[in-house]
Amino acid sequence: MNTKALFADTMNTFGLHACLLANECERYGMTWGCDGDCPAFAKGKCKNPEELIEDIMTTDKFDNFTFEELNELYPKLNLIN
């Protein structure tokens, strides 16, 4: 687990008494937003990857993945370099 994901999980444990029922994606996203370090994204479990196409193509948030890796995780995106 990367340090950003670990931090997001730690922050979530502080709020357990507040009944925060966030999933892995939501915990990470509330802390860091959507990027390539999100554990759910890296596992291919992002529920809305189509919404990230612009960020994938125009920012460095997902540079830790090649287009081939992204197409393997999310075939529907059909990314072309």
The per-residue pLDDT for range 62-72, each reduced to its tens digit, is 999 999 999 99
The total number of structural domains in the chain stands at: 1
Please report the sign of the dihedral spanned by the C-alpha atoms of residue 70, residue 39, residue 34, residue 26. positive
Nearest C-alpha neighbor of 78 from the set 70, 37, 34: 70
Confidence (pTM): 0.72
Residue-number span of the structural domain to which 54 is assigned: 3-77
pLDDT at 16 over 60: no
The tens digit of pLDDT for each residue in 34-48 reads 999 999 999 999 988
